[in-house]
Structure 1
Amino acid sequence: MSDLIIVDITENEKTLLDGQLNQKEIKGNGKILIKNPSQKSRLWNLGCDLKEIVNTTISSRELDVGILNATQEYKSEYEVQNLKEPSLKVVDIFDTTMSISDKVNNAFLFETDNKCKLKLVLTNPLDIPISNIKVKREIPSFFQEIEILNPNIGVAGIIEESELRFLSWDIVSLDGQQRAELELTCTVNIKDSDVKALGTLDITYLINNYKLTMINPEVRGLTDSMSGIDRDEGSQPGMWDCSVEFINESEFQVRIENVKVLHKITTGTENVVSQAPNRLLNPEQSWDFDFQVESKDVPELSSSIEFTPLFVALTRVVGEINKESTVYPVLRASINKSINPPEVDAYANTDMVIENIIVNNGTSIIGAINILDEIPQDFVPPLINQVKVMLGNIDISSRTDFTKKLELAPSDQSPDSKHQIIIELFNLSNEFIQDAKLIISYPLKARNPRPPTEMLYKTPVKIEINSPVEGNLFTKSPDKEPEIKVKYVKRKLKTLKSIKPGMSEGEFSISVRIQNKGNVELENIIVKDKIPRGFDLTNINIDDYNVVKIGEESELQVKIAELKGNESLSLNYSCSGQGDYPRYEPEIIVQGREGSELTQASDNQVAPPAQTVKGSVTSISIEKSALINDLFSNIFKKIDQTITGNVLSAFIEDMRDQFPPGPVLHQFMQFAKDIKTDKLVIGSLRDEILAKLKEFKEKYI
């Protein structure tokens, strides 16, 4: 059996990746071993030509090995430079929301069962196999309910070392241009806000017949051999039959390359043999060549034989990839609702301020947030432009680059139903960092809330937040559901009435005083007071009233929008007629907010302008209505005759007795006096008078 000189080249690559798989560092080194595997044969004059050393720290391409005795070896070490990337490509992906397949979520939801997936992918970009791949990935203790899906190649399982758990994956060989995949699922429920390390990853591998450098070694040297020349005089004198011979006495396979034989003659030397056999000789094998030389004497011959022991080059790359632990933050926030004042009086109108304080008390940035804030009935919600949203020192209430939605549902300000403020914010990544605050504030008005024996006013609020990589929402409400407390306060109402004769015969002055002796407002009060038969209302100190016919009697109805606590209001009016004025007790009806639809606009809306002509006349007969219509038609026809203001005034005053008595008639007659003038009723004056007349007509009809 023949030996070969062994040139063993082992190159190492060691790669460090950060938690995001970015390459932080890659180092390489190599070692050349030139081994004499023989048990008895020596090697000498040994040299090694490396051919190409450009990306190494080797100073010379020629290695002077010298002598290697049996079983000895020569070693040369070097660094490999300018490595770009490892020979094995690695992907380590951890997704905290495996139900969303189109993205990789990278934050844990606090105190939530996060259904997670770990995926490892190894890719061989070479055209030759990578063997002996060993993957060891740390499995943190907070990974629970672990399930390993069978990899497409290799064997995987969970192992324990030094009280730590690891995912072990062994692959015997991964063919060129192939990839290996492994998936692991688990459940993670985080109980604190600290960032979580997902575990380190270590991979080792071997690539035979592969180099990181361009080293291409060639070894030459000498070993045990014998050579010589036979001289045998032929049948003719002076002709010699010669033979040059080479014997391989080593344990190596050698290659005989060039053979020369020189013959010394009187004039010098002559080349009698020049051969290039390029022949491989195993141990104890020989090579010879026959030739003839002409010489009178025994020829003086010398030989020169070039040979070298053969070698084999063994190359390999030993690789190691170390990945630092990926760190994922925890998505968490708190919400607290501040109610000021925290308690309001029942049946009262109270101005309030609501403030929702949202704090990012996790370690993840908040990229988007939804706020759903419920306002109970019996409370007037704010207008949208009264809702203020502050993120740190930035007012983002009306900024479209942050606000996707800001609305009130339903969009009215009625306290008769619940409302919900809906806010959707986005693009917050640069501002809503750890410990940042988002404050949402707005005014609120209590409108006659009922006492706690009748109603509890819960005002729940909920937030939904997302990290910059949108996944499942983290939902949070205050630990205790917010409630607006209502304190019961007694309502007290007192009514006084006086009747006394007026300044003229048949006239009486009536005064009704309504006193709110409680501490809360009374809203939408209706005062009803009878006007006896035979008497007509002639004057009154309030605008919002009606006179309603009830049989042969009339009833004065006055509406009072609000009477604050500990305040009073006096209703003074005059009636004219014949006989005594009997006393009737006024009827007081407190409708509260529910009876406000006819007269009361929302506090956040503009009330309609008051009419120019005050009061009204109701429940007149059809015949009387037709008569009044005819009277006004006659007035309009009179104006069309192009008369003066004096003529029109007298024409109206002559009709006085045909109109129903009361405050409207009093105002109408005052109008007749005001239009007295020598000017003709034409142009703008005509337009003003016609408009006023139409108002009076509407009051009567």
Structure 2
Amino acid sequence: MSEALKVVIDLSEKVDCVLSGDNKVKSISAKGTLTVKNPSRRNKVWSCELQLGGVSSTSLKEERYDVGEVPAGGTWTLEYNIPVSSPLISLKETVDTYPKDSAINWAVAFNRVTPVRCIITLTNPSDIFARNIEVRKRIPKGFGDPSIEPPQTGSAEYVSETREVIWRGFDLAPGAEATLAINMAVKPEEVKPIGAGEVKLTYQIVGSTASSLTPDLYCISDLRFGVEPAESLSKPNFWDCTLEFLNTSDFMELLLDVEMSLVSDGRSPALSLSPNVELLPHQSWSYTFQVESPELPVFETKFNYRVAYEVKRSVYTTVVKEETLLPVMKVEAEKIFAPAEVDAYDKTPMSVTVNVFNVGSAELDAVSIIDTVPEDFRAPTSDKIKITLGDREITSGVTIALEPPSAPIEQSKTLKIAVAGLSKIGGFKPGQTMKVFYPVVAWGPKPKGKYLAPLRVTCNISPPGLEGEFLRLEEIPPAIEVKYARRAVKIFKESITPGAEKNQYIVPLIIVNSGEVNIENVTVKDFVPPGFKLVSWKPEELQPKVEETPDGLVLSWLFVRIEPKQEIQFSYVIEGSGRYVR
């Protein structure tokens, strides 16, 4: 006996979903095709009528469809859309650019080898098995060959020809979760965000659909039936009748009910049955009954049967997660001295401006400046350092340190300025400039040509990871130019003239800065011989210091600062008698 066929109602649905780089549903669509398939090679089916329940879960409007005839090997199809909000299997990819800690970092550092760890997690929150799962992770150019941690479920390999990591060979049971970890590295050479590679997930659901359609198909195929009346051997006018149905098709057929009436007797009921039997191909079913009739009975027969069908359900799902974009951290800086050149040996107030430019594509949370105040320059106090971002002054999250903290002016010093928590005030955005301003004083620099003042800038995001670095001003330090200026001073002592009183004498002095640079802390001394005493001096604010010695008085004046070409005249009056030697 050949295998009994059933008409197949195939509900095949396809879900296509696109996830954004941050794992959110960007678009999703679901389409279905209901196909009535005739698997027989020789028997057609006809009078096919399809009833559908659950049409509200689809775009279909009708519940009844007149399918009509489906030839041997033929099909009839009905297409529909399904409103869905998410795929059955949850796909999540976590991309971490600093896997050393538990935080998830999301940016890479320009021109630095940055580790990137991708963790792909599949979760089945439903009560349905997901089968034939396959995940393909693209490894973009610029990334090194990945290192794959062996998954607990399925197998994973890297195919270098297509630059894909392929994870497959497993199903996902209801409530189960599967994880794959991939490690790689990249050294960004551009500032535009770097894509970490898309992920494509495919899987199949068998025995279930996204829609709630419940089909019922009525159709018939080839069937032979007949009635054999034979007069009873023992009772005249009584007929032993045999009703027989023969399934002449390749299908399993269901004989549901039979109604027979005697035409010769005014269509009086002769038989009413509900066999509800399954007839396999070429299998028959018969029933014997007796009727009374004076002549050969003629019957009118009505019966109901149908071809058996089976419903197959499947969902094929494709989820494409767009690649996660990794912004690139990059800063540049300039250091401006005003004035750019100072005189040797002089004390010159200066200002230093450090401009930090965010030239990358990442919004920064922190900036650190490691600056140098050269020897012979006085460093600023922390309250004199001003930091602005755009038109906003930054006062919180700022740490300032001078190392060594009490270094003498003759020693080089390191000035560390750290600004953190910028994300709380909107972040240091690409294209913005951070300005750091502070005063210094050139404190008698030596005429050696220039003083180097290297600078290093680092930056980071929140949460922090591998730092971005700007090293050019450390490798090629900016310099403060020192102009050589000749130092020269003249001191004149003019002729002594008589004073206003007897035995008083006026001693005039002149000091002139005849050099090219300010001179400081200049001491002028004059000698008053024995027999004379100091009476007065002019101007009054230039009071000399008087020191008594066995050889007379020593007068001294301290001039804190004398500018170039500046001339200072002063005098003193003595009183006494004796020999005065100039």
- Go from structure 1 to structure 2 and tell me whether the alpha carbon gap of 1:153 and 1:431 turns closer, same or farther (over 3 Å shift): closer
Question: Which residue pairs with 2:512 in the alignment?
Answer: 515
Deviates more, 1:84-93 or 1:532-541: 532-541
Unpaired stretches in structure 1, ≥5 consecutive residues: 584-701
Is 2:419 the partner of 1:424? Answer: yes
Preserved contact between residue 366 and residue 418 of structure 2 (Cα < 8 Å): no
**What aligned pairs does 1:298-309 form with structure 2 within 5 A after superposition?**
298-309=296-307
**What aligned pairs does 1:669-688 form with structure 2 within 5 A after superposition?**
none
Pairing partner for 2:429 from 427, 430, 433: 433
Give me the whole-angstrom Cα distance separating, in 2, the residues matched to 1:421 and 1:102. Answer: 27
Is 2:443 the partner of 1:447? Answer: yes
Question: Which residue pairs with 1:61 in the alignment?
Answer: 63
Is 2:517 the partner of 1:494? Answer: no
Preserved contact between residue 57 and residue 78 of structure 1 (Cα < 8 Å): no
Give me the whole-angstrom Cα distance separating, in 2, the residues matched to 1:525 and 1:9. Answer: 105
**Which of the two has greater strand per residue?**
2
Unpaired stretches in structure 2, ≥5 consecutive residues: none
- Go from structure 1 to structure 2 and tell me whether the alpha carbon gap of 1:221 and 1:75 turns closer, same or farther (over 3 Å shift): closer
Preserved contact between residue 70 and residue 76 of structure 2 (Cα < 8 Å): no
Question: Which residue pairs with 1:293 in the alignment?
Answer: 291
- Go from structure 1 to structure 2 and tell me whether the alpha carbon gap of 1:544 and 1:281 turns closer, same or farther (over 3 Å shift): farther
Q: CA deviation at 1:246?
A: 2.1
User: Which SS does the other structure have where 2:419 is aligned?
Assistant: strand
Q: Which residue identity is paired with 1:562?
A: R
Identity of aligned residues (%): 27
Q: CA deviation at 1:121?
A: 1.6
Query: Which is bigger in relative contact order (C-alpha 8 A, separation at least 6)?
Result: 2
Question: Which residue pairs with 1:91 in the alignment?
Answer: 92
Question: Which residue pairs with 1:187 in the alignment?
Answer: 185
Give me the whole-angstrom Cα distance separating, in 2, the residues matched to 1:408 and 1:55. Answer: 67
Preserved contact between residue 203 and residue 322 of structure 1 (Cα < 8 Å): yes
Question: Which residue pairs with 2:253 in the alignment?
Answer: 254
| Count of residue pairs the alignment pairs up | 571
Question: Which residue pairs with 1:11 in the alignment?
Answer: 13
Q: CA deviation at 1:415?
A: 4.3
**What aligned pairs does 1:527-606 form with structure 2 within 5 A after superposition?**
527-541=524-538, 542-551=541-550, 553-583=552-582
Preserved contact between residue 368 and residue 416 of structure 2 (Cα < 8 Å): no
Q: CA deviation at 1:33?
A: 2.1
**What aligned pairs does 1:106-255 form with structure 2 within 5 A after superposition?**
106-161=106-161, 164-234=162-232, 235-255=234-254
- Report the TM-score, using the length of structure 1 for normalisation: 0.75
User: Which SS does the other structure have where 2:397 is aligned?
Assistant: strand
Question: Which residue pairs with 2:397 in the alignment?
Answer: 404
Could you report, residue by residue, the CA deviation over 1:79-126 in whole angstroms, capped at 9, with x for unpaired residues? 3231111222211222222223222x2222111110111221222233
Give me the whole-angstrom Cα distance separating, in 2, the residues matched to 1:287 and 1:480. Answer: 103
User: Which SS does the other structure have where 1:144 is aligned?
Assistant: coil
- Go from structure 1 to structure 2 and tell me whether the alpha carbon gap of 1:419 and 1:24 turns closer, same or farther (over 3 Å shift): closer
**What aligned pairs does 1:305-324 form with structure 2 within 5 A after superposition?**
305-324=303-322
Is 2:523 the partner of 1:505? Answer: no
Q: CA deviation at 1:137?
A: 2.4
Give me the whole-angstrom Cα distance separating, in 1, the residues matched to 2:219 and 2:326. Answer: 61
Preserved contact between residue 524 and residue 557 of structure 2 (Cα < 8 Å): yes
Q: CA deviation at 1:317?
A: 0.8
Q: CA deviation at 1:544?
A: 4.9
- Report the TM-score, using the length of structure 2 for normalisation: 0.90
Give me the whole-angstrom Cα distance separating, in 2, the residues matched to 1:543 and 1:46. Answer: 126
User: Which SS does the other structure have where 1:357 is aligned?
Assistant: strand
Could you report, residue by residue, the CA deviation over 1:504-531 in whole angstroms, capped at 9, with x for unpaired residues? 3333322332222111111122333333
Could you report, residue by residue, the CA deviation over 1:317-356 in whole angstroms, capped at 9, with x for unpaired residues? 1111223333222111111111232221110122323221
**Which of the two has greater helix per residue?**
1
Question: Which residue pairs with 2:102 in the alignment?
Answer: 101
Q: Which residue identity is paired with 2:513?
A: N
Give me the whole-angstrom Cα distance separating, in 2, the residues matched to 1:533 and 1:79. Answer: 126
Could you report, residue by residue, the CA deviation over 1:561-597 in whole angstroms, capped at 9, with x for unpaired residues? 11112223234112223322334xxxxxxxxxxxxxx
Question: Which residue pairs with 2:345 in the alignment?
Answer: 347
Preserved contact between residue 382 and residue 413 of structure 1 (Cα < 8 Å): no
Could you report, residue by residue, the CA deviation over 1:342-389 in whole angstroms, capped at 9, with x for unpaired residues? 221110122323221222221222333223333223223445555443
Q: CA deviation at 1:221?
A: 1.7
Give me the whole-angstrom Cα distance separating, in 2, the residues matched to 1:549 and 1:406. Answer: 55
Q: Give 1 or 2 for the bigger CA radius of gyration.
A: 1
Give me the whole-angstrom Cα distance separating, in 2, the residues matched to 1:77 and 1:544. Answer: 115
